[in-house]
Structure 1
């Protein structure tokens, strides 16, 4: 992955997809997924990338949770925009996040024959760039 300059303007929010409900309460240091530990960063998405990310990593799932994080909470030196095919740069957090960084959590489900784009499109007010 090649680093890219951050988008302009910067999105206000980034999102973390998790296959199961997050711990309640959310801890000060969120437990990293196996993939995040292996890759050395937390995989995040901006709102318009979520259907792409969901199709890549959750294509066989009928539900997942999104953690909404305010990007400005993170120092620009720990969020890198890495080139990932078809995304124009994905935000990757080289560190971790926790309870103070999570603005909101929501479960998303898709119905029989429904795409992730359709399921996520119904929540455009909650999903913000």
Structure 2
């Protein structure tokens, strides 16, 4: 259900997720920075693109289809809840973070994933236990 003021607003999930996830195409630095540097896409769009666990395979397939390695940050949802807008680019309400950023103190875990020749991201990430709802 969309808001009349914002046709791109998607449904708020019920229940709300425990975690949100950020996909990046390059291995993150170690240690992680206190404030994550915004990607060109995030800077240009004016918000940080996150995904829910269910959306990760879809997001990876749509936006990282030519990438063979991905890294995914797992963050707690609750500290960001009041700055998240659920908006619809291609799936039900993607979490977009407005007016804030995240950094090392917020990241619970980081994992790298690799897809083999002929594999799609949905095959690699679908059913991945690490991606908790």
TM over 0.5, shorter chain: yes
Q: Once superposed, what is the RMSD of the aligned Cα atoms?
A: 1.3
Residue of structure 1 aligned with 2:33, choices 24, 27, 30: 27
Does residue 83 of structure 2 align to residue 83 of structure 1? Answer: no
Find the residue that maps to 2:55 and give its secondary structure.
Answer: helix
Alignment partner of 1:104 is 2:112: no
State how many pairs are aligned. Answer: 126
TM-score (norm 1): 0.91
- Structure 1 gap ranges (5+): none
Q: Pairwise mapping of residues 40-119 of structure 1 onto structure 2 (< 5 A)? A: 40-74=46-80, 76-85=81-90, 87-94=91-98, 95-119=100-124
TM-score by length of 2: 0.89
Match of 1:3 in 2: 9
Worse overlay, 87-96 or 76-85: 76-85
Q: Which runs of 5+ in 2 are unaligned?
A: 1-6
C-alpha separation between the residues in 2 aligned to 1:22 and 1:93?
20
